[in-house]
Amino acid sequence: MSVAQGECRAIVGLNGAGKSTALRVILGMLRPDAGRVLLCGRDIASCPRDVWRRVGHLVEASSSYPELTARQNIGATARLHGADPERAEGAAERMSEMLALTGWLDTPVRRLSLGTRQKVGLVGALAHEPDVVVLDEPTNGLDPLAVVGFRDLLRDVTRRGGAVLVTGHHFDELTRIADRVNVLHRGRIIDTIAPEEPGRPGGADLERVFFNAVLAADQAALGPSSGGSSRAGRLQDERKES
């Protein structure tokens, strides 16, 4: 799998498929069992600090200093990435407005809701204007207005040539933001989908392709006499519930 400059790629999979693990391997938080990860053309095992400074990420519940304000947390993250303070502050103000976070910037993080903390984490990941963005289920907890603003933030990143990798569960949302969608199942990429019209809500189509790919992978691995049909039934039930 590769993500090109100016591209937004998504990874979708069932719970436990390995989405978060894949992102942690890409970010050097976990060692890969095989293969290697290249970041800006450099093996992550030997990437210098200046390469990592060009990366913005949010791969788990937003970690922050609870006693500091949202603004202070965002500023601290920008400084860790070596960003120009004034430039990062201006970017953070603009992004906060897009996510409806402005009114909470001077509130201690411990007093914020989980959704608002997620906004803080997203602005912190993007305020230093990174070239590579890695986000694990970034819309979790976001209100509808913030989701729309988040889409615009990602478009800003790709327009200036940044590469974006996100995971998610909401098929309609993925087709709105991603140029390509990788289907991850049991730790392996089993299909790659290119939505015909990335800007349109095509979740139902993507959902059908996703479940067909998962069913085919399970049936190929287990065989018709090893529970493949019962697995198919469970997945069809999941489709009806989603």
Give the tens place of pLDDT for each residue, 206-227.
677 777 888 888 888 776 655 5
Q: Are residues 31 and 55 in the same domain?
A: yes
| Calpha distance 24→122 (Å, rounded) | 17
Q: Are residues 117 and 191 in the same domain?
A: no
Domain contains 189: yes
Domain contains 207: yes
Range of the domain at 142: 21-164
Q: Are residues 160 and 217 in the same domain?
A: no
Q: Are residues 152 and 177 in the same domain?
A: no
Strand, helix or coil at 148? Answer: helix
Q: Are residues 136 and 186 in the same domain?
A: no
Asked if residue 6 lies in contact with residue 179, where contact means CB atoms within 8 angstroms, the answer is no
| pLDDT (0 to 100) of residue 45 | 86
Classify burial at 217, counting beta carbons within 10 Å of its beta carbon; exposed 0-12, middle 13-18, buried 19 or more: middle
Question: How do the residues of the chain divide into helix, strand and coil, expressed in percent and rounded to 5?
Answer: 50, 15, 35
Q: How many domains does the chain have?
A: 2
Domain contains 14: no
Q: Are residues 60 and 103 in the same domain?
A: yes
Domain contains 6: no
Q: Are residues 102 and 71 in the same domain?
A: yes
| pLDDT (0 to 100) of residue 143 | 94
Q: Are residues 115 and 157 in the same domain?
A: yes
The pTM score is 0.85
Q: What is the DSSP string of 168-189?
A: ES-HHHHHHH-SEEEEEETTEE
Work out the mean pLDDT of the chain and round it to a whole number. Answer: 86
